[in-house]
Structure 1
Amino acid sequence: MRSVRTTFQILEAIADFQPIGLSELSRKLELPKSTVQRSIATLADLGWLRPDSCASTRWVVGDQVRKLSGKVDDDGQLTAAPPPRSPRPRCAATLETVHAAVVDGLALRLVDSVDSELALRLIQPIGTRAPLYAGSAGKAVLAAWPDADVESYLDVELPPIASGTITDPETLRLELKKIRQQGYALSVNELTEGMTAVAACIQPEGSARPVATISINGPSFRITEDLHALYGEKVMTAAREIGRELEH
């Protein structure tokens, strides 16, 4: 049982810190390199991990995580994993990267991505997690929560991730109010420097909270201010379509 627990501990750590190498992972978990290496080899063989495309000695979560993410709700019950089809047709003609993420506790986990074909683009591994307070997708989810739940969430420190991350609770409250009014969320330099994202949450009728998000992501010099409202309409339309499909 100890080896099983260690294996899951390693998988969770890689999901949190990916891409990450063997030595760094061993230090973070305070485990022998040999133990970590054996578990990584097993998880990679089963498809739960894969080498990072930019550095073969660093690891990210694999396709098995993508298949499972979003299929289990807070009560441990299997659910449909949004989106039912690729997010690209939902936000066609933007030429930017389109992400679909599911709510995973107090974070979002990326479960589907159609990457831009342009040279400068945002690429993130499937399974990447992000806190709800940072980035357009997370803020879209928070904006749909009841006020009491938002206040409970904000009763913790909000550490900066990039230069534009909102770390002041009062500023974030005002931001969430704006998102509720316009129906979509915007972020600039909140998760990745130089990147802008526009997102809307997916909330099927009858669901108490959003279950997922869809977002358009790209360099800020391309997603300029004059495109924010247009892309906002695109993600809101896509989110409504997916929400209706999930109802069935």
Structure 2
Amino acid sequence: MRHRRNLAPVSSAEPFRARRILVIGTLDTKGGEVGFLKEQIERRGHRTVVMDIGILGQLALPADISRQEVVRASGMSLQEALDAGDRQRAVNIVIEGARRKAEELNAAGKLDGIIALGGGTALFMGTAVMQALPIGVPKLVLSSMVSGDVNRFVGGKDITLMQSVADIVGLNPVTRDILARAAGAICGMVEVEVGDALAPVETSGRTSLLIAVTAFGITTPCSRYAAQELEEKGMKVREGGDALTSWDI
């Protein structure tokens, strides 16, 4: 069963609670940058779980979830793919293992948010991992490749994309600033408990039905009319576009 976030809104009087944030990156090429992001998150009082989704080079930063663990979780052989020179298959193996590890953390209630950083690899692999997580788990990708058509990466999930402006290659005043702001963004996201927007509500002592209504452009007036009619009958309505069809309700 997938872990759902707390239904109660956070009160300003409630004590601070450290959240667990999954940080994913290629530690052979982005170890220093991942390390800086990890440090920035932890300075804000939260815990990090670093997962390595690299394939080849030597690690520049120790991982909490190593690439070996990630590959084992996939149930496939990375070495066979590498020996055959099939890099795309190797990448897919790592993605599958990373998705399963993220799902395990979420199912155990040990995941409050996830962030990935890098270039095209972070966008492709990071969002693929995030697609395995339910709506409501904060998801942030910091990448230099998010200014184009990103529909295939985001799909129907609540994935937030942040433009890094500069390539995330080494630490300098620009990358330090953007990494620190990305850390602040994911920390702010996990600190907010907005509740489960899909949970049925109690109406006059009974649980109301939840109806999903999709709309597109010129059909919006019709869908709004239908939604109002349903709400008057005591039902709860969630309206959306194409992304609504992929919701895990």
Q: Do Structure 1 and Structure 2 share a fold, with TM-score over 0.5?
A: no
Greater RCO, CA 8 A, separation 6+: 2
TM category (shorter chain) comes to under 0.3
TM-score for the superposition, normalised by structure 1 = 0.26
TM-score for the superposition, normalised by structure 2 = 0.26
Larger radius of gyration: 2
